[in-house]
Amino acid sequence: MSEPLIENIDYYFDEFGRMVFTKEYHLKRGYCCGNNCLNCPWRNNDNERDNK
């Protein structure tokens, strides 16, 4: 992706100040990175987010 990221569309900051990518960002990127991202549209909803 060569377009600049837009706050509150592509990402937001959580209560701890961490940047969190949105579902829209992931869809623009077009693939799953396999890191179990919070807003991943490809994530298996049956798994816990912090499944270790």
Residue 17 placed within a domain: yes
| CA-closest candidate to residue 20, choices 7, 3, 31 | 7
Residue 8 is part of which domain span? 1-35
What phi and psi values does residue 28 have, to the nearest 5 degrees?
-65, -40
Question: How many domains in the chain?
Answer: 1
What's the predicted TM-score (pTM) here?
0.74
Residue 40 placed within a domain: no
Secondary structure in 3-state letters for 27-46:
HHHCCCCCCCCCCCCCCCCC
**What are 1-52's pLDDT values in tens digits?**
688 999 999 999 999 999 999 999 999 999 999 999 999 999 865 444 444 3
